[in-house]
Amino acid sequence: MKVALWCLFFNLIWLIANKAPLFRAMQRDGSGYDNHLPRQQQSRLTGLGARALAAHQNGFEAFGMFVAALFIAVQAGTDPIWLNRLAVVHVVARVIYTVLYWLDWASLRTLMWSIGYLSLLAMALLGLL
């Protein structure tokens, strides 16, 4: 189970680290990074900046589901080997998903999203069985 908890910690770091392309896009947006109204500036981004914003926001959405699935699995005493494997699959899928989002490779991105989501369903289901 320790690996799964490290995956949770990595997710916390990744939520902020994956903002780097968004931050760069905002810096290059004519007047620089708008720290007074960053969300308004973000709403005007296009191309890579818009995709980086969407990937960043999706990371927060996925994080909540990961925490819920991990909670169910841990509370139920799920086999730690399977729990760890599924947590690693989820983290790897999410990192690849984010990079594919930046690159605008939509079909492969959807595949990675599906793998990440299915790993969460499996994690929770193992806890419920």
Domains and CATH numbers, the chain: 2-25+45-128 (1.20.120.550)
In the predicted model, is pLDDT for residue 115 greater than 90?
yes
* Span 56-85, pLDDT tens digits: 999 999 999 999 999 999 999 999 999 999
In the predicted model, is pLDDT for residue 23 greater than 80?
yes
In the predicted model, is pLDDT for residue 51 greater than 90?
yes
What pLDDT, on the 0 to 100 scale, is given for residue 19? 95
CA distances from 17 to 21, 55, 78 (A): 9, 12, 30
Tell if the pTM clears 0.85, that is, is over it.
yes
